[in-house]
A and B are shown apart, each in its own frame.
Chain A
Amino acid sequence: MRLAALIVAAVLWVGVPVSASWTAPPLALTAADSTPTALGTLVRLDGRFPASDLVARRYPFQVFVQAHSDPGRVVCFSALWGTLSGWIPLADEFDLEELIALAPEYLQPDPGGELVYLGESRIEVMIPPEFPRGRANIVLSVEYQGAPVLSNDLEVTLP
């Protein structure tokens, strides 16, 4: 009751009509681009995400990058675990939610990657130099009520 009251109050302050479905976290990617640098590839993401929560706490939020050339190769920038990267064995049929759920099991900390900027509507990450070049998919995810919630995914070319 208390949490529900809070959520409804928050919804009213935000100015959105009350509905359970409207309490999903804000996750959307609107633009992504990359810049090669001496240290690796800098990727700039614009969109919407729970920026205030990300300042206040170790919110269960991550930026997930998946190589096109090898869909099992991923790098994950997590508010909880820092930068993780590695290879996740995939079955023929998989979806992004499944991949994200498997990430903590298969990925290792990667000091070559870093989330370097967290703004109100922009995130910048350094892709580790070992990550495959070429096209990659990027998606934001947050754990909400025990399940991952995903943004739309965007494609970016890593030069």
Chain B
Amino acid sequence: MIRRGNGWLTAAAFAALGVAGPCTGKDPAIWPRYDDPSNLILHGDPLYPDPEKGAAEIMPGAPLILRRSDDVLGARYDRLIARVRGDVDLVVRTGAAARAGAILPPSLLIPGGTAAVGVAEPFGGGVAVPFEAVPSDGAGVYGNVAVPYYWRGLPVLVLAFSDLDGDGYVGITGLDGDDSDALLEEAELTPTGRAFAFGESDAARGEIAIRVGGPPGARAIAALTAATFAGPYREHHRDGLVPDGPVIMTHLPFFPETDPERLALEGPRDPAAVVAGSLTAAMNVRPAQLHFPSYSSLGEAFTLRLDGSTSTIDVASVRSGSAVRFGLVRVARGDRRPIAPVRPGLDSNGRRVALEVLSHWALADDGDATHSTLQVVALDRLGNVTSPPPNANVVLEVSGGIWIASPDTDGDPFRETVQLRDARGVEIELDDLGSSWDDPPDARVLLESALAPTRIDVSLGDPDVNDSGAVDALDLLAIGFARETGAGDDDFDIRLDIDANGVIDDADLALAASQLGESIATP
């Protein structure tokens, strides 16, 4: 999980300081360059000012980012050398990557080419996407295959990132014409598939299984990216187990932390964070710098364009798997932090949207003031929205302080049978019983059908967050201490999210403060 608060603060500070700080970067023409012609991946790449550090780790097209004295990438005082940009060192393709030594364009730009197709199912039961990752000399748009002497056996990490909102981009971008949807686009920074492959004679070949798929009419496009250490194994370097060289990478939707020492210091200490014993060993890429499109020097350097124009990556179209149950979803909004996994889907009008697949959600305890509109949809085993089986009937049962406002075919506000015909599902409206803040017990929705059942827990928040019977200072303290936590954070407490917007913020605090001293019935 990316800690958004810190990340955004970092990005904002970074951008602000980058704008304000002096840029002492040398002219690109005289900036020192790596000049070992036997290492064509790095040949011509910019060097760090400290010659001991060698070739700069720099994303294609992105500016050089220098750590300052604290040596922490992503911290305050990082410096951008906007005139020194990365070239192409590594390219990933979903089919053959090169012909006669020349690296081929992405699949969509090859005449008659289409995106590779995958299917999302667990346990290897889906369709994985084949890939080839090739080292490039950086000449021209894609470069030519430039196999260094240490390439054979080099582990190359391939990551998939999925376009959840269907805007044609992965990452936080303004290219979609919407600058207000960063909260949703941030969900695209979590990889949706990962695989390792080893360098062979001219490429690293493998397959990647991608967990996010879409139903018919809601294509789930994933970008395939790659990274590796560019250097030989040396006995004196980490006991000969890690290549001795800088990290090279394709385009990524953020700048990753690359310093092994920094990773070791800052990474999770819990041994449970690591998988081994299979060749798809664990990898939890952490952004060192979040993309900040409004800063002109960074611009859209970290935005992955899925039309083939991001030269180093390729794309795959992933279909969801077979329906195994039904679930409740709501249309994700760009200005609202998702409270649940986001998946491609369709709204009730058949429009391609991003959907939050709910297992727990907060309903405003405001009496008749507002209803919540949700959709009942079919889900696959990985939680993707999919087509339902023919004539699928689903029985909704609600309990604990909520009722089904719509549809109502049988006069029973707590039970309804709906029939699904396609992946759009059926729209329903749920509401809380009684008046506002009457503190009913926490509620739940149960979906039963011929497939497996699904349970969704519902929180009905009110300003008396500790259920003491009145709004007091302890309630304000609880909310205050939890400020800036949001859905998806380990320490997010949905009961403190009074206005049910997915984040505990000043609005919740103000809401509680406005009711200070008021009595609220306890459940």
Contact = CB atoms under 8 A, between A and B. Distances in A.
B448 A39 contact: yes
A100 interface: no
A24 to B, nearest CB: 6
B109 interface: no
Interface residues of A toward B: which range?
35 or more
B277 A25 contact: yes
A145 B381 contact: no
B383 A119 contact: yes
A12 to B, nearest CB: 5
B458 interface: no
B159 to A, nearest CB: 10
Interface string A9-47: 111111111100111111110000001011100101000
A102 interface: no
Interface in B446-462: 446, 448, 452-455
Contact of A15 (B155, B266, B455): B266
Nearest to A3: B279
Contacts of A114: 324, 452
Contacts of B128: 56
B511 interface: no
Contact of B263 (A13, A55, A119): A13
B280 interface: yes
A144 interface: yes
B99 interface: no
A15 B257 contact: yes
Given A8-B238, A35-B455, A116-B325, A21 B271 contact: yes
Nearest to B452: A116
B280 A2 contact: no
A144 B278 CA distance: 9
Contact of B325 (A9, A16, A48, A117): A117
Interface in B237-286: 238, 241-243, 257, 260, 263-264, 266-286
A38 B123 contact: no
Interface in B380-437: 381-383
B209 interface: yes
A10 B279 CA distance: 10
A51 to B, nearest CB: 8
Contacts of B279: 3, 6
A23 B277 contact: yes
B324 A52 contact: no
Nearest to A7: B276
Q: Which of A11, A42, A124 gathers most chain B CB within 10 Å? A: A11
A76 B484 CA distance: 40
A2 to B, nearest CB: 6
A52 B264 contact: no
A68 interface: no
Contacts of A35: 446, 453, 455
A12 B382 contact: no
A142 B275 CA distance: 11
A16 B283 contact: no
A118 interface: yes
Contacts of A91: none
Interface string B113-131: 0000000101110101000
Interface string B26-60: 00000000000000000000000000000000000
B233 interface: yes
A54 B455 contact: no
A52 B273 CA distance: 12
B273 A14 contact: yes
Contacts of B122: 54-55, 79, 118
B193 interface: yes
Nearest to B233: A5
8 contacts: A4-B241, A9-B243, A10-B196, A14-B267, A15-B263, A116-B325, A117-B325, A126-B453
Interface of B: 120, 122-124, 126, 128, 153, 155, 157, 193-196, 198, 208-211, 229, 233, 238, 241-243, 257, 260, 263-264, 266-286, 324-325, 341, 359, 379, 381-383, 446, 448, 452-455
Given A7-B276, A53-B275, 11 more contacts: A15-B267, A18-B264, A35-B446, A44-B455, A50-B282, A52-B275, A54-B123, A56-B124, A56-B209, A116-B381, A120-B341
